[in-house]
Amino acid sequence: MTTPSQNPGNPAADLTRIDEKRRELRLQALAYLEEADRLDALYAAVTGERTTVLAAISNDKPDTGEF
């Protein structure tokens, strides 16, 4: 991670830091969705019930900001 912005009152002053954080959060969200899929499969295997998937996001470039 880069050093804190020299101008904290202006978010546009540190676009690199904002982009790093955006990419980090997007990757973390995708990891949570993968874990949710695994838990859905486990639940279905144990109970024999089908589960409803609320959202399935597939993107080979998760850091681009598009789903």
- The domain locations on the chain are 14-57
C-alpha to C-alpha distance for 66 and 64, rounded to whole angstroms: 6
- Averaged pLDDT, 27-48: 93
User: Where does residue 11 rank: exposed (0-12), middle (13-18), buried (19+ CB within 10 A)?
Assistant: exposed
Q: How confident is the model at residue 51 (pLDDT cuts 50, 70, 90)?
A: low
Q: Dump pLDDT digits (tens) for 19-35.
A: 999 999 999 999 999 99
Question: 22 phi and psi, to 5 degrees?
Answer: -60, -45
| pLDDT in the model for residue 38 | 93
Q: What is the pLDDT of residue 22?
A: 94
pLDDT at position 13 is: 77
| Residues 20, 1 contacting (CB under 8 angstroms) | yes
